[in-house]
Amino acid sequence: MSPLLSGSLFHSSPFNPSSPHAQVISDLFILVLYISAVIFLVVFGSLLYAILRYRGKPGQPDPAQEFGNAKIEIVWTALPFLIVVFLCVFTVKTMYSADPPAKGGDPDLVIIGHQWWWEARYPKSGVVTANEIHIPVGKNFLVRLESADVIHDFWVPQLSRKMDAVPGQVNYIWLQASEAGTYLGACSEYCGAQHAWMRIRVIAQPEAEFEKWQQEQLKVPSKPTTGEVALGAELFERLTCVNCHTISGTIAEANVGPDLTHLASRQTLGAGILENTPSNLARWLANPHAVKPGVLMPNMKLTESEINLLVAYLGTLK
């Protein structure tokens, strides 16, 4: 990460790349911006000169009538053509370095777009999570993108190109971070009511930390036996929560909504709309539509004591 950009306007932009793939795009982008600036200055400069120099005065006779000049036309057709040839070469070259073909390798990560959240599966370890994607620093992850419903688009500007998640099709991208940190992204293809709150967090950690995170994510939570937490767990299984969600070690095994096995270990709720705190979780449970209008989770019409029990239980799922 360029220290120049930390905290600046362009902090989370493609101009602050943190991977070799995003780096080559940034370099090309900056080159093209320079070329564009030169072209703009040439056009604007000659226009400005013309309007200042050739401003007509009242009563002035008509100027000399010229009809054109084929030589000049050829020059200003050929010059842009050369620029285009130059750009073509760089375009194609950069395409292959920014996005090398996956060649059918096994993905390290499968990301599935849902209305309006991201499912993340690590096929090699079996970890399943949502919206917050952990990767080890410096490792080049092959990501397979799928969609469960409509077209979404996975975009984390500092790390990789964006790529659509298309129903009935699989796409691949490379995801890598050169430095530890949290990288922000978002769904970049309009996908319905809550397209705005389909945000992405990529958390790049040193390899050991990442391994530790995976181990923790794989742990099956022990069944609580006492107090509010046990009552909450029982309530969770009794209500219709289990028709949509999964919590390992319980009867909840559905995959319509996000996997909640380690919900409490996440930073946000509702794909980025709320910070993950007990009071926000209570707000969400009381009526998800008040928080994220249009969300597919129904209002469960829970009583306050039910909400408290569920928050107590879900809060233990670290």
Partner 1 sequence: MSETPIASETVDSVSKVEEYKGLYSWVASVDHKQIGILYLIFTIIFLLLGGIEALLLRIQLAQPTSTFLSPQAYNQLFTMHGTTMIFLVVMPMLIGLATYLVPLMIGARDMAFPRLNALSFWLLVFGGLLLYYSFITQGGAPNVGWFSYAPLSEKPFSLWTGGVDYWALGLLVAGIGTVSSGVNLITTIFALRAEGLTIRRLPLFVWMVLVNSFLIILALSILNASLVMLLADRLLGAHYFRPATGGSAILWQHLFWAFGHPEVYIMVLPAFGILSEVIPVFSRKPIFGYEFVAGSTVAIGLLSFGVWAHHMFTVGLGHILDSFFGIASMLIAIPTGVKIFNWIATMWGGSIRFTTAMLFAVAFLVQFTVGGLSGVHFAVVPIDWQTTDTYYVVAHFHYVLFGGTFFGIMAGIYYWFPKITGRMLSEGLGKIHFWTMLIGFNLTFFVQHILGLIGMPRRVYTYPDLPHWGMLNLVSTIGAFILALSVLVFVWNIIASLRNGKPAGDNPWDAWTLEWATTSPPPVHNFDRLPPIRGRRPLWDFTHPDKADWKVHEKNGT
4 forms part of the interface with partner 1 (CB under 8 A) = no
For 246, 252, 295, the CA distances from 257, given in Å and listed in that order, are: 8, 11, 11
| Angstrom distance (rounded) from CA 159 to CA 139 | 12
| 19 part of the interface to partner 1, by CB under 8 A | no
Exposed / middle / buried, residue 254 (Cβ in 10 Å: 0-12, 13-18, 19+): middle
Pick the binder of partner 1 from 1, 23, 87, 244 (CB under 8 A): 87
In the set 114, 121, 144, 195, which binds partner 1 (CB under 8 A)? 195
Helix (H) or strand (E) holding 46: helix 20-53
Residue 231: what residue type?
A: L
Among 108, 119, 132, 189, binds partner 1 (CB under 8 A): 189
Applying CB under 8 A, among 88, 220, 251, 256 the residue interacting with partner 1 is 88
Alpha-carbon span 132 to 269, nearest angstrom: 10
* Residue number, 1 or 184, with CB nearest to partner 1: 184
- Type of residue at 246: T
State whether the Cα torsion 119-208-181-204 is positive or negative. Answer: negative
Name the nearest CA neighbour of 157 among 177, 133, 179: 177
> Which residues touch 39 (CB under 8 Å, ≥6 apart)?
83
Identify the residue among 20, 126, 294, 298 touching partner 1 (CB under 8 A).
294
If the CB atoms of residues 46 and 303 are measured against partner 1, the closer one turns out to be 46
Amino acid at the residue 4: L
Considering only 23, 171, 214, 308, the residue that binds partner 1 (CB under 8 A) is: 171
**Would you say 242 or 296 has its CB closer to partner 1?**
296
289, 295 Cβ separation under 8 angstroms: yes
**Could you say which residues in the range 199-258 bind partner 1, by CB under 8 A?**
199
Question: Nearer to partner 1 by C-beta: 4 or 72?
Answer: 72
Quick check: 110 binds partner 1 (CB under 8 A)?
no
d(CA 298, CA 292): 11
Rule CB under 8 A: is residue 95 a binding residue for partner 1?
yes
Q: Which DSSP helix (H) or strand (E) runs through 29?
A: helix 20-53
Interactions with partner 1, residue window 35-64 (CB under 8 A): 36, 39-40, 43-44, 46-47, 50-51, 54-57, 60-64
Considering only 6, 20, 32, 253, the residue that binds partner 1 (CB under 8 A) is 32
Using rule CB under 8 A, residue 71 touches partner 1:
no
Return the residue of 131, 176, 188, 205 that touches partner 1, per CB under 8 A.
188
Minimum distance, C-beta of residue 264 to partner 1, in the bound complex (Å)? 22
Residues 308, 279: Cα–Cα separation, whole Å? 9
Note whether 266 binds partner 1 by CB under 8 A. Answer: no
CB of 212 to partner 1, least distance (A): 29
Pairing of strands 181-187, 199-205: antiparallel
CB nearer to partner 1: pick between 25 and 109 = 25
**Helix pair angle (304-314, 278-286), 10° resolution:** 130
* Positions 128 through 167 that interact with partner 1 (CB under 8 A): 149-151, 153, 155, 157, 161-164, 166-167
Distance CA 220, CA 249 (A): 6
Q: Taking CB under 8 A as the rule, does residue 77 contact partner 1? A: yes
Residue 81 touching partner 1 (CB under 8 A): yes
Check if the beta carbon of residue 229 is closer than 8 Å to that of residue 313: yes
